[in-house]
Every structure is written in C-alpha cells, then in structure tokens.
Amino acid sequence: MKTLLVVLILISGCASYKSYNQTTTGKVILRGGIFEKESWPDSLIFKRMSWYHGMTLYFDAFFYKADPESPFAKWFSSSEKEFFTKCEKLVVTVSYSADPSKISHVNFREQMKLNGYDDVVLNNFSAALKSHPSASDWRMQNYKVLGYCKRAPSRLSTHSLAINFPSFKNLEINL
C-alpha cells in the first residue's frame, strides 16, 4: 500500500511538473583557447538563461561580456574588434530556439533592444567559438552566435540585463 502511495505521488508530481513555465540561470565554461600558433589556459565564461515549459527547453541563451584584454579577443576579426571602441559594452550571445512559435530569436533580439543593445554580426568569433573542442558538448552547432552593442550610456542600468518573455518569470543577470 505504501509503495502504491509513493508511486501515485511521484506520478502526480511529474505530471504537474510538466505543465508550467519555468526559468533557470547558470554558467557555461569553455576552458582554453587557440588562435593560429598560440594557445592559452584561460576560461571563457558565459552566463546562461534558459526558458522551459515543464522539461522542454523553449529557449536558451549564453552571455559573454567581451573583454578586449582577454586572450579570447584574438578570435575577433579586425572589423569585429572595432566594436570595442564603438560600444560602451559588447556582449556576445549564443542562443537556441527549440520552437520559434513559442520563443524566437526575433523575440530575443527585441528584448536586447529594450535593454539598449543593437545586434552586430560576429562571423569570425562565431567560427572560432563553434570549433572550440567543448562546443560539441553544448551542441553549439544548433545555436546562433551574435554580438550586441550598447552604443552609448543609457538611462537603463548598465550592469544588468533583463529578459522577459510572455508567460515566463523575468530573468536578470549582471554582466
């Protein structure tokens, strides 16, 4: 009887778990890097935001505040490096949309605009990132890599980034 009760509680818990929207935050760490003949042991640390319906991932986004002093800055082309001088802050995002009818890259771009960021293309950085040995662990071939440039100081907080998709809890991270 007790076993049956435990099984019923477990099943009802699982059934209710799959029926709501949830969000999580965390980190993604890629260790080491290579550019031409040079390699380094530093880590590329992304902050992560994820949106789920039950256990189904709807949207996933990694954020890296690009640093011109980091060895990973070598992955940027000369034209991409110009954004370091043109932007108050350059953020590299790596995002995945499982179902664009639920949450799309366009929805994400709109949220970044509300935070004061304009999207920029980072083809060289994207290619280097996607060929990192750990990229396959995160299935980055399915992710879209973009840069976001905050061109001038704004009235919005410069330290945090808030993303709010309909029917989900507002997520905020410090960059």
Q: Is the pLDDT of residue 3 over 90?
A: no
Q: How many helices (H) and strands (E) does the chain have?
A: 4, 8
Question: Does the residue 4 lie in any domain?
Answer: no
Average pLDDT of span 16-30: 83
Question: Does the residue 9 lie in any domain?
Answer: no
Q: Give the Cα separation of 66 and 142 in Å (integer).
A: 22
Question: Does the residue 79 lie in any domain?
Answer: yes
pLDDT value, residue 69 = 96
Give the other-Cβ count within 10 Å of 6's Cβ. 10
**Residue linked to tokens 């950085």:** 125
Lowest model confidence (mean pLDDT) among 75-79, 120-124, 150-154: 150-154
Q: What would the pLDDT profile of 24-44 be if each residue is shown by its tens digit?
A: 999 999 999 999 999 999 999
Instruction: Count how many residues are written for the chain.
Output: 175
Nearest Cα residue to 162 out of 127, 116, 123: 116
pLDDT value, residue 50 = 97
pLDDT band at residue 72 using 50, 70 and 90 as cut-offs = very high
pLDDT value, residue 159 = 75
Q: Is the pLDDT of residue 165 over 70?
A: yes
State pTM to two decimals: 0.84
Query: How many domains is the chain built from?
Result: 1
Q: How many alpha carbons fall within 13 Å on the CB side of residue 7? A: 4
Paired with 135 in beta bridges are none
Q: What would the pLDDT profile of 93-150 be if each residue is shown by its tens digit?
A: 999 999 999 999 999 999 999 999 999 999 999 999 999 988 878 888 899 999 999 9
Domain extent, residue 31, equals 20-174
Question: Does the residue 60 lie in any domain?
Answer: yes
Question: Does the residue 3 lie in any domain?
Answer: no
Question: Does the residue 45 lie in any domain?
Answer: yes
Question: Does the residue 96 lie in any domain?
Answer: yes
Mean pLDDT value across the chain: 89
Question: Does the residue 84 lie in any domain?
Answer: yes
Could you please report the per-residue DSSP string of 78-124?
Answer: HHHHHHHHH-SEEEEEEEEES-TTTS-HHHHHHHHHHTT-EEE--HH
pLDDT band at residue 153 using 50, 70 and 90 as cut-offs = low
Question: Contact at 8 Å (CB) between 92 and 64?
Answer: yes
Q: Is the pLDDT of residue 6 over 70?
A: no
